[in-house]
Chains A and B, each alone.
Chain A
Amino acid sequence: MRGYLIGLLALSLIFSSCDRHGCTDENATNYNPKAKKDDGSCFYDADPESFDRGPMLNNLAYNVIVPAYHDLDSTVNTMKFDIQTFVNTPNQTNLDNARNSWQNALIAWQYAGYFEFGPADANFLRAQVNVYPVDTSQVNGNISIGSYNLSSASNYDAKGFQAIDYLLYGIESNDNDIVSTYQNNSSIGVYLNDITNDLSQLVSTVYQTWNPNSGNYASSFASNTALDIGGSCNMIFNAFVMHFEAYVRSGKLGIPAGALSFSQTPLPDRVECYYHNELSKVMLDHAFNGLSNIYNGTHKNNTDGIGFKEYLDYLQTQGPSGLLSNDINTQINLAQNDAAIKLNEPLSDFVMNNQATALEVWDEMQYLVVLLKNDLKSAIGLSITYADADGD
């Protein structure tokens, strides 16, 4: 056994010694003194006693946010290629490929959507990438007129992932007719290509601004450890809580379930992916993962890094049934499991037939919002001061 371990150690030394890529941050747990070029693999063990916002922001920037944008960028590029292929040669195989890569890109978006501050905010990313319901009459109007300005705000709900959903699934009731529509009408393919390019450009702009090898917003984000209103903690906190509240809790479930209307009438056409409504629940599930990644500082490969959870561990903040750091994870899991078990695809039918159950899930998500918005915010000491205050 001992010999085996020594052998393993020796082997790993041999491997690491010829490895020039690795973690170059001396403060990281996996710091590799031989590494010449940082490959973003650093991770940090949180010592609750000596917690520091610097490594937390560093972890969020390089191991959570940048990889999320990288994923989004590469899946969108694949989608762009596959859609182009389909438009050039409309047939069932190419349609399936385009649909498949659209789905992957939209899943990647569920992780990247939480970062609507800085570069994403400056480019109005969310408003241009995933607005629903899609305005189909605007889409059809654009296609028949053949000239449109996609950067105009009036076209925000006629483009993005949901317009692609409509164009790949919703223009006809069966696949044969969809393929033949593309074969017979070139202007619809042109529009699909145009909105895909627009999406890809937007995503690429934001990704490149974050990218450490390009705009490197990641570095200025990671170094701004202040707690005041312009500090990174404040920006990312407000962004991810707001995204979860408005675009996940309300957008993906509350509005379709009628939780936000006077008459509480369900609105099935407000679900995400309405034209391929087998996916609405899948997207909600991924959005929960995205939230959990930020809160826990989890890397793409599921390695646990420093996130808000470790910050709360340092503060020893009390939650409803123990440490707040654990209570938030419990509530994320509870809401996510509730959504996974209680809701059924297609969500648009489910909210019509089982509204009460949908509203139960909504309640769990609602309570999660309180824990994040109130308990987490107060605990981490975000000092949002507008004037003198003596604490009353």
Chain B
Amino acid sequence: MANYAGDTGTFEQLALPHFASLYNFACWLTRDRVAAEDLVQEAFLKALKGFSSYQQGTNFRAWIYRILRNSFLTSRAGLLAGADLSLDSEEFSQEAVDGVGMEPEARAAQTPESILFARIEQETIQQALEELPVHFREIILLCDLEEMSYHEISLTLGIPQGTVMSRLFRARKAMRNLLAAPPEMRPEASAGERNERSSR
């Protein structure tokens, strides 16, 4: 895991190396390239304006990702996904996790791990990521794609490290369910997800 602690430098020196990653992350959050461009531009301008509040020597990556995520939450797409995010608390039911992507019949028929691996192909994974609720999608992207440590993720999302671990556990379980279930066996998308799609 790369060490991003102790970042110092000018705004451009610190921010521009993250430009492509932030854009990719924004595309996954908004699922719309135009909205992602607006989001990245807004986040960079907010970060520049608030750069004086950034404490030199602390974790810049977590700081700028948090700005982008907060901008998303106050955007139209983010507000539409808001109901989805508000569900995510430590009390979030296990049933909701188990239910992602699987009908009860499919859940009962445990898919062997070998079948799971055979199904792990880029398009399948991308489709599964798109179908995940946004609070699960973002934590998987921060951990698996951006390779952030749990500490960095907790700084980015503003949640305790223990919550990072439990949310990540649930997100991965939901992801495995989606990967193991053929698309035709998946239930209709939730109202929140449908709203999110219709906003594109």
A and B: bona fide binding partners: no
Using a CB–CB distance below 8 Å, which chain A residues touch chain B? none
